[in-house]
Amino acid sequence: MDDPLHRPPIVRRVSELVGATPLFELCRRENGSRLLLKLEQYNPTGTAKIRMARQMVVDAEDRGLLRPGGRIIESTSGNTGLGLAVVAAERGYTFTAVVDHHAAVDKLRAMKALGAELVYVADDGDEELATAAREEFAEKLAAESDNAYFTEQHNNPANGAGYHPVARELDAALGGRIDVLIGAVGTGGGLFGTGKVLRETVPGVRIVGVEPKGSIAFGPPAHDYYQSGTGTPEGATIGAMVDYDLLDEGAKVGDVEAFATARVVARHTGLLIGGSAGGVVYEALTRMSAPAPGAVMVALVNDGGEKYMDTVFDDDWMAARDLLSPQVECEVAELLAKLRRPTPDTPQEWT
């Protein structure tokens, strides 16, 4: 846990496998500019969120807020819950996840498989994002329970601290050569926790946040969206982890573009990324059209696409919600083909 760049050859806890995730070069322009993806799906549970889940639990233990045999409670759309389920299992706690049906089904199933108790705040068939209701119920449940701790990820400083190692990993891998850091903004912990520490060694790095269209962190209009685990829906409070002073620019990407990008990246590179990660990569690709020579952009890919086989990668599910757009997928594919250039060590043909 103390060394984000290396791990021992033999570990005794799943959480010791966290970190040291790879960088994947998605694009290299002829002028030397590059788009690199920080593949956080190579953490246990396939997501970045286990970083902050572990940190929130350790911080609570250090502060005496979580005692042996205690109960962890969190409102989650899935990925934070997966991380907390792992940490709870290996440290002897019970974990209650307050959820809705907006979350990917595979995330809910995985949490349950890891021993989590799932408490729903929405009826079966109701796919609306119920962040405010989840938060309210989680807080109430913790207050009424003995030896329980509500991790409250949206306002917990340990959330951001959990991502400080990401900055050190990036700095070590790239030697400070990072011009733009771009990532999704949900709780804000991932992008701003990373960005805060990265700015200490790379003062000039530009920080760009991405949220779904319909989310309110970067302003109205508010409406429903299907990207999971990101954004702030109408009625929910923007968390304290969203650091506007650290933000250089906020961008919005629609579900159609985000999901089209995830699908195109899978078909053209063999890499499965999640739906909200598709939004980040879409925004990054549009910014790669005219980068400065030698510029390096790093996009934080917070989870993989394996959990979205029944949604983002399912044509019937997509079409039923008017999200399937062959035209947008074609546009993204053309943009990706234009930006991707064979590097000297990359075979130009495989047949």
In a domain, 254, yes or no: yes
Cα R_g (the chain), whole angstroms: 20
d(Cα 15, Cα 49) in Å, to the nearest integer?
12
pLDDT digits (tens, 9 = 90+) for 195-221: 999 999 999 999 999 999 999 999 999
Three-class SS state of 26: strand
Residue 252 and residue 103 in one domain: no
- Read off the CATH number of the domain in which 113 is found: 3.40.50.1100
Name the domain boundary from 109, 134, 157.
157
Q: Contact 109/81 with Cβ under 8 angstroms?
A: no
Mean pLDDT of 119-148: 88
pLDDT digits (tens, 9 = 90+) for 39-94: 999 999 999 999 999 999 999 999 999 999 999 999 998 899 999 999 999 999 99
Residue 41 and residue 108 in one domain: no
Mean pLDDT of 107-112: 93
Residue 43 and residue 186 in one domain: yes
> In sequence order, what E strands does the chain have?
23-28, 34-39, 71-75, 94-99, 117-120, 148-150, 180-184, 206-212, 249-253, 296-301
In which domain, by residue range, is 130 found?
A: 49-157
Name the domain boundary from 157, 188, 222.
157
Residue 194 and residue 206 in one domain: yes
Q: Contact 34/292 with Cβ under 8 angstroms?
A: no
In a domain, 3, yes or no: no
The pLDDT value recorded for residue 128 is 81
In a domain, 6, yes or no: no
The length of the chain, given as a count of residues: 351
In a domain, 349, yes or no: no
Q: DSSP code of 243?
A: -
Name the domain boundary from 157, 183, 211.
157
In a domain, 8, yes or no: no
| Residue 201 Cα distances to 138, 171, 223, 300, angstroms | 38, 8, 38, 18
* Number of domains forming the structure of the chain: 2
d(Cα 333, Cα 320) in Å, to the nearest integer?
23
Q: Contact 239/155 with Cβ under 8 angstroms?
A: yes
